[in-house]
Amino acid sequence: MADSKIVVPTDATIAAAAQALAAGKLIGVPTETVYGLAADATNQLAVMRIFQAKGRPANNPLIAHFANADQARRWINVDDDATITWQWNLATTFWPGPLTVVAPLRGSVAPAVTAGAETLAVRVPNHPVMQSLLESFALPIAAPSANRSNYVSPTQANHVATAFGDSIEMVLDGGPCDFGVESTIIRLTPTVPQLLRPGGISTEQLVSVFGDIELIRHQAPASPSANTDSAGVEPASLAPLPSPGLMRKHYSPQTRLIKASEFDLGKMNPAKVARLYFTPQPQSDRPIAFGWIRVLSPTGDLNEVARHLFAAIREADQLPCELIVIDECSNAGIGRAIMDRVHRAAT
């Protein structure tokens, strides 16, 4: 039933998707990072439907997606400060690709997109289906990850259909996402770009291009319900968050999840534990008979770990297990984004 919303992308279905957007409807879209819940970024009512469907706090802004950097540039102002112009020119070398750029707003997107802030997050995704849709639609497409607020992000069309079958017109099936973790977000500043969220573009790649970047530390919300609650849409009167993407609790499965370094079997029944390994473990290193085991990469490739991470957590969350125990890795390359998501899921 929900799966009947999953559509094979063709010229005709992509045109139908563009029409649905123009009519103010929501659709599920594939990108190279995760699936998005998309609406016309210039249509306030349509954008508000995204917040409602996700249960997303109204003070948490959305990313606007564009077909190319020239189109994105029309909606932001990167011209008044030479350093920002320079940073913009370097940032666009990562496009199309998993980088989101926060810059001063200029165009008139629907106010809900920016949650009242004076900046806009823009991104040019690298997925052929999303590219065709953006070209055919011509206006910016607002799209957060297509998960309910604070749940694990979707990396397959069926994840979107299951969560939003009732609220979306369709989900374009672009296959499993290549990266599996969301885009890296940077904010352009008159000094150095700030890293707001680690993601598909590594910190090392950013440093090699910008020379320097500022790492922003995670901030815990003031109270557990202050700005991350999945209970419902927060009043719009709340001040825009400096960087809502840095909120600590996020990506959480229903089942408790902990890092392997914190795991102690104690009195637990191992049959009730789901164990997610990043790399294969020799039998001799596996004295505990876990109820369910999944190896995210047979070759220990962290890109593959990232690609399978969210789907594996979702799968484990469906099991009748009481605990999910997950590996850890270094912060090098894509490892930083993986560990960021693991820390948040474990909070």
Q: Are 97 and 32 in contact (CB under 8 A)?
A: yes
Nearer to ligand TXA, 12 or 220 (CB): 220
Q: Are 7 and 172 in contact (CB under 8 A)?
A: yes
Nearer to ligand TXA, 146 or 295 (CB): 146
The DSSP code for 233 is P
Tokens of 210: 């910008």
Nearer to ligand TXA, 121 or 325 (CB): 121
Q: How far apart are alpha carbons 183 and 236 in whole angstroms?
A: 26
Q: Half-sphere exposure of residue 52, counting CA atoms within 13 Å on the CB side?
A: 12
- Residues of this chain that bind ligand TXA (CB under 6 A): 31, 33-34, 36, 60-63, 98, 100, 102, 114, 117, 119-121, 123, 125, 143-145, 182-183, 185, 196, 243-245
Q: Which residue sits closest to ligand TXA, CB atoms considered?
A: 245
64 binds, among ligand TXA, Mg ion, none (CB under 5 to 8 A by kind): none
150 binds, among Mg ion, ligand TXA, none (CB under 5 to 8 A by kind): none
226 membership: H or E segment, kind and range: none
Place of tokens 């998005």: 36
Q: How far apart are alpha carbons 76 and 70 in whole angstroms?
A: 11
234 binds, among ligand TXA, Mg ion, none (CB under 5 to 8 A by kind): none
100 binds, among Mg ion, ligand TXA, none (CB under 5 to 8 A by kind): ligand TXA
Q: How far apart are alpha carbons 100 and 77 in whole angstroms?
A: 15
Torsion sign over Cα 144, 150, 156, 158: negative
Q: Please, is 23 exposed, middle or buried when counting C-beta atoms within 10 Å of its C-beta (0-12, 13-18, 19+)?
A: exposed
Nearer to ligand TXA, 131 or 273 (CB): 131
Tell the smallest beta-carbon distance from residue 209 to Mg ion (Å): 25
Interface stretch with Mg ion, choices 142-150, 230-238, 290-298, 303-311 (CB under 5 A): 142-150
In 3D space, the residue among 271, 100, 106, 113 whose CA is nearest the CA of residue 184 turns out to be 100
Tell the smallest beta-carbon distance from residue 217 to ligand TXA (Å): 15
Q: Are 234 and 59 in contact (CB under 8 A)?
A: yes
245 binds, among Mg ion, ligand TXA, none (CB under 5 to 8 A by kind): ligand TXA
Tell the smallest beta-carbon distance from residue 318 to Mg ion (Å): 20
145 binds Mg ion (CB under 5 A): yes
Nearer to ligand TXA, 77 or 100 (CB): 100
Q: Which residue sits closest to Mg ion, CB atoms considered?
A: 145
Tokens of 106: 């200029």
Q: Are 51 and 58 in contact (CB under 8 A)?
A: yes
Nearer to ligand TXA, 71 or 145 (CB): 145
Q: Are 22 and 37 in contact (CB under 8 A)?
A: no
Tell the smallest beta-carbon distance from residue 146 to Mg ion (Å): 9
Nearer to Mg ion, 234 or 273 (CB): 234
Interface stretch with Mg ion, choices 64-72, 116-124, 143-151, 231-239 (CB under 5 A): 143-151
Interface contacts to Mg ion, rule CB under 5 A: 145
